[in-house]
Structure 1
């Protein structure tokens, strides 16, 4: 066997476990969902025999575009706010002393020690009309006694940012830790201000971490349904809530599968977009930026 073929089979053996995992637990379930979306629904619940396009045509429901738009909008705003908060935190963690770094990282990951549902219901108690946050806002004359904090899109946005923030901080910190901060000092020596050096040198230097953090926040946000269900109302429903309703309440698996296929498409589009950006950034030389 030639060295080239030996190297080829060696690479195949290394990638085979991960490829098998993706085929079994990602591609196969996705194909099953697409197949169920083309099946008719059984009136008693479940899947009937035969094939039909009726389920896909039912997606023309006038309520669905509004729900899909709300899902994309809330996810995009959540990603933007989360990154805006996480970037300075990652910068601070990478620059601070080791004991402070360990403390901030500990505070970042400590929410994972508590059940996700408990954290969401804790926010429901905080945002409750009789909760502490409402009392503080009324006492400071920042809200009226009739102001409702729960069951509105702003409450969903707040809890989604809180939930996804650690998933943005960790990859950004991993990228910032490898960044050469002497480049910022060099830019400031050449006349750039601290803010100019931050955006012109530091942000491009953690580009890969920024893309990873964006995907880790955007994709789970698009598929979120527990947060809108607990702290949101009817006007805050996302596509995940409709899928859950079609599955557990209506027992219409084909309709749920059709919506899941739309959700998968909505998640794959930004993934392909960011992967293409990353590939183009890695393949070509990055032009030097002037900072003065």
Structure 2
């Protein structure tokens, strides 16, 4: 099988590239990335065909998608906070980018497209746990762009028969996730700060909850979905129904790292969702054999990755 990963030099994409190159069923892995948030060194030592460029470039996509069996579309401009600061850039990268990928997949003969969406689409809907049938109530431009992406995936399936599968990711963390920028996710930001002896920044009171998912678990699901050609026009939560408050995460990280975090509390950020907790029934029905990496084990592996790189 020939696989394409858009955004394959990024955090999740590069982890997936490592996973796919280890599979005997996969004969070729192609990566497209404009390196705006990814890093080519994440792919060092891997047997992949790398193309630097944007998913907004239709001619580039036509070249890369030719003869492919599955496209895993992970290219995006991540971060709620970044989208609040730069909403048009977020829309172009996420919504228009997904539309361009779908059109190119259709031109290539109807290639299977697996795509990443986000739990942020649930937004202000207070129901817990979050199941895929809930009304969406996005609170940020990022969430709106991801909801538009899901809608395009469903529309291309129904209008053109394109085989698609949108996954809603929930707070993915793990090795390879960058920490040294203004929009860093909480786990790498806190491990990096704690390792350097700096206070960790908590936006809000710390009682907000998240469904943290280790990147290896995500890659296991994506790999199985790609190899099986799994199709669903409806979105699927990619998380395992855990609910951890930021204060609980602080306690866990203090235990893992053996030192206090010294939290510094700041005002809540615009667009942030208060609580996130996935209903995973649909995911379990599609991929019953996948068992998630527990939070403690995932944090230990992530902290070790930071230690080995002196971060």
> Do they superpose with TM above 0.5?
no
TM-score (norm 2): 0.24
The structure that has the greater radius of gyration is: 1
Higher relative contact order (CA 8 A, sep 6+): 1
Q: Which has the higher strand share?
A: 2
Q: Which has the higher helix share?
A: 1
